[in-house]
Amino acid sequence: MKIVVLKFGGTSVGTIDRIKKIADLITNYRKKYKVIVVSSAMSGATNDLVKKSKNISNNFSNVEYDALVSSGEQVACALIAGRLIHKGYKSRSWMGWQIPIITDNNHKYSKINQIYKRNIIKYLKSGGIPIVTGFQGVSGEGRITTIGRGGSDASAIMLAKFFKAERCIIYTDVEGVYTTDPKKLDKAKKIKVISYEEMLEMASLGAKVMQPVSIQDARLSRIDIEVMSSFKNKSGTLITKRKNIINRNIITGISSTQNDAKVTLVGVKDKPGIAASIFKPLSESSINVDMVVQNISADGKETDLTFTIKNDDLTKTRKITNSNKKINFKKLLFDRNVSKVSIIGVGMITTPGVTYRMFQALAKHKINIQVISTSEIKISVLIDKKNIKKAISALHKEFKLEA
């Protein structure tokens, strides 16, 4: 049985007219495949439900949060199934608990552990088109769970894994993955093929096409993903393993962030364990620390420690650091006006001079680098937020991504 998994994002099902359009798309695939559809909630629906929960309580129950926000997908799936039935096809909506999709008990951030296939296989063989709620499952205690915002991608990927689908296609409001954000640079080009590793770096560094955990799930399960537009009939981007890619550029893409803050502790006593003492309470409060740089004084007795966090965590970080009795420092500095720019590409593994070219391109445009971090396939720099578009343009040109 040839199966395709089609996932539709919130914008793709955002209006009745759009739902009618994707129903036509689904029936086209029905000519060649048995189709499993996964849907997000209609655009804006989940945000509205989250807002309601916050208006009810500043400490809204995680268990009830999942029951509440999962209702958005239920609405969208019922509308899609209803349209397919109207067109003469056998279809029905399936909630995560009806399949069932079994997750752990970590409400709001659950992981899918198991998908029972019997009911869906039987329905597919009978000619039906199942419309599955993305973003959700059921715990061992029989409660509805959700798997994190943007989790419908993960739902689709795991369904493709368990049902051994031939294709897994993510339909969204863009035509695929671009060399950089087209909203920031009109010369951005669509990438035809990208590796899991590169896509994971781009997503975690600011690209919003897919959720990082979904890409990691695909990588571990070796599920190829196609990212396409539900509004334009054009080829998209294939996310696959490295060995499937030929004619590679040195740099595949450029990502940037808008929600970073820089924190600097001035005059910290330099002794073993001091960094752990700084970062442990932040970790315990689920504050993610990203870039870190340390400057030791000439006499080796003191150090200035700089790191980046998300802007949303700045108030909490200030409070935690100031109340930390295990560390001593002279001054605590914060800067919200920073952004991280990153170049990503597996080609840099075997190509010397990439770091120099990046720094030189930025220097030519008088863009100062504040913090640097690297991995095998990416280089990230922290710069003044006002220079973000200029930096992206300079790097895009330097690494010939416009050609």
The CA distances from residue 373 to 334, 342, 351, 377, in Å, are 19, 9, 18, 11
Burial (CB < 10 A; 0-12, 13-18, 19+), residue 67, is middle
pLDDT value for 206 = 64
- Edge to edge, the sheet with strand 167-172 lists 91-94, 129-133, 34-39, 3-8, 167-172, 225-229, 237-240, 193-195
In sequence order, the β-bridge partners of residue 131 are 37, 93
Planar angle of CA 166, 169, 175, nearest 5 degrees: 145
C-alpha–C-alpha distance, residues 302 and 266, integer Å: 9
Tokens of 377: 């396939």
pLDDT value for 249 = 81
pLDDT value for 214 = 84
**Strand, coil or helix: what is 303?**
strand
Per-domain boundaries in the chain: 3-249
Residue of 139, 147, 348 whose CA lies nearest to 250: 348
Q: pTM score, two decimals?
A: 0.83
Planar angle of CA 217, 219, 225, nearest 5 degrees: 90
pLDDT value for 403 = 55
pLDDT value for 229 = 92
Are the C-beta atoms of 382 and 368 separated by less than 8 Å? no
Candidate CATH numbers 1.10.390.10, 3.40.1160.10, 3.30.365.10, 3.30.420.40; the one for domain 3-249: 3.40.1160.10
pLDDT value for 207 = 67
State how far Cα 21 lies from the chain centre. Answer: 26
pLDDT value for 151 = 87
Residues (pLDDT < 50) of the chain are: none
